[in-house]
Amino acid sequence: MALDAQWSAVARGYRLALVLAGLVGVAALAVCTVTGYPFAGFFITVGLALGGWNSRRLWTDTEKLVDGTKVAGEKWRGPAAVASAKRLGLITLFAFLVALAYRPLGWTVFLGLLVFQVLMVSLLAKPLSRVVRP
Q: Could you read off the pLDDT of 53-74 as tens digits, one per residue?
A: 998 888 777 655 655 544 455 5
Alpha carbon distances (Å) from 134 to 1, 9, 13, 31: 13, 17, 21, 45
Looking at the DSSP assignment, which residues form a beta bridge with residue 94?
Answer: none
- SS3 assignment, position 134: coil
- Tell me, what's the pLDDT at 4? 64
CA separation for the pair 43, 46 (Å, rounded): 5
Regions of the chain short of the pLDDT cut 70: 1-5, 62-80, 134
**Phi, psi (deg, nearest 5) at residue 79:** -60, -40
Residue 111 CB contacts under 8 Å (≥ 6 apart), including other chains: 43, 44, 47
